[in-house]
Amino acid sequence: MKVTYSTHLVDKVEAAVTQALMHYNDESSGGMYTRELPTEILYCLSPNRSINHALDTFGVNASTKELIVGVIYPTSVYQSNDTILLDYLSQIENTIQGTMNASLLITQSTKNIDAVCQEYGITNIERNVINKSNDPHKSLLESILSRMASRDLFRP
């Protein structure tokens, strides 16, 4: 299986959702930084501790042309023919104006590696090391995920 940059995008979102759910469910570790789970997910995607920066970088506004829609649904109640979930997904699809195009996401994501590296503070020296590794895509993902995870180690 060839790993593409889109896999990294999905992995980053999955890591952010996992972090946000941990914050949501564990008040003993400080709880959520934001008031709502969706904004907590965006906050967890952000490379710094600024909710404003997270919303500016990852939020939706009038000029947004591409977005990722995720549905958090408990696996304990999920069934493949779940009519409630299927109705909900249909409502989401009808609400979004535009077309769903996963292949465009993959193409565009590949072009945005420089912007992602800049956003997460990955230096040219680190990128050179990443590019020389046995699996550059995995190494880049690990660099990004380690930055996302390390924020929780130093919570105020």
DSSP conformational letter for 112: T
Q: pLDDT higher for 121 or 150?
A: 121
Q: Rounded to the nearest 5°, which phi and psi values hold at 54?
A: -60, -45
C-alpha closest to that of 38 among 13, 61, 63, 62? 13
SS3 76: coil
Q: Give the per-residue pLDDT at 2.
A: 35
SS3 83: helix
Q: What is the pLDDT of residues 19-67, one digit of tens each?
A: 888 888 877 767 888 889 988 998 888 877 788 888 887 778 888 777 7
Mean pLDDT computed over every residue of the chain: 77
The domain segmentation of the chain, as residue ranges, is: 5-153
Q: Give the per-residue pLDDT at 102.
A: 56
| CATH level 3 topology of 5-153 | PF0523-like (3.30.2380)
Element (H, E) at 111: helix 102-111
- Which of the four pLDDT bands, split at 50, 70 and 90, describes residue 101? low
Please give the model's pTM, rounded to 2 decimal places.
Answer: 0.63
Q: pLDDT higher for 143 or 3?
A: 143
